[in-house]
Structure 1
Amino acid sequence: MIGQGLTLMVVGMAVVFILLVLLVYVMKLLSFVVNRFFPDKEEEVQPKTQRAGEADILAAIASAAAYHNS
C-alpha cells in the first residue's frame, strides 16, 4: 500500500516536472517566433525638456531646505 502511494507520488511529480520543462521550451519558442516575425518598431527619441512644474518643485525644495538650515 505504501509502495503504491510512493510510486504514484513519483509518477505524478515526474509528469508535472516534464510538463513544466515543456512549458519553458514552448514559451522560449513562442518568444523567438514573436520577436522574429513581429519586431518592435523603434521610436525616435525626443530630447527631454524641463516641464513648467519642475521649476516650481525645485524652488519649493530649495526654500524648505533654506528654512530648515536657518
Structure 2
Amino acid sequence: METNLVIEGLKFMILGMGTVFVFLIVMIVCMNIMSSVINKFFPEPQPGAGASGTGAQSDKKKIVAAITAAIAHHRQG
C-alpha cells in the first residue's frame, strides 16, 4: 500500500486553513454581536446643546489659560 505524501500534505493544509478560517469567521460574528449589545446598553453620549455647550467652552478656555501659563513659566525659568 503506497500513500502519496503530497496528497496527505494537501489534506492537512486544507484542514488547518479551514479550521483557521472558520475560527476567524466565528470570532468576527461574536465581535459584531458583542458590539451591538454594548452599543444597545451603553450608547455613546451625544454632544448636547445649550447649557452643557457653554460649560465645555469654559473648560476649554481654562485649559488654554493653563497651557499658556505653563509655557510662560517654562520660558522664564
Give the shorter-chain TM-score range: 0.5 to 0.7
Q: Kindly, what percent of the aligned residue pairs are identical?
A: 32
Alignment partner of 1:33 is 2:29? no
TM-score (norm: length of structure 2): 0.55
Greater helix content: 2
Count of equivalent residues: 48
User: Aligned equivalents of 1:18 and 1:27: distance in 2?
Assistant: 14
User: Aligned equivalents of 2:40 and 2:9: distance in 1?
Assistant: 46
TM-score (norm: length of structure 1): 0.60
RMSD: 1.8
**Cα-to-partner distance string for 1:1-23 (whole Å, 9 max, x where unaligned):** 11111110000010011011001
Give the unaligned 5+ runs of structure 1: 48-70
What's 1:3 paired with?
7
What's 2:22 paired with?
18
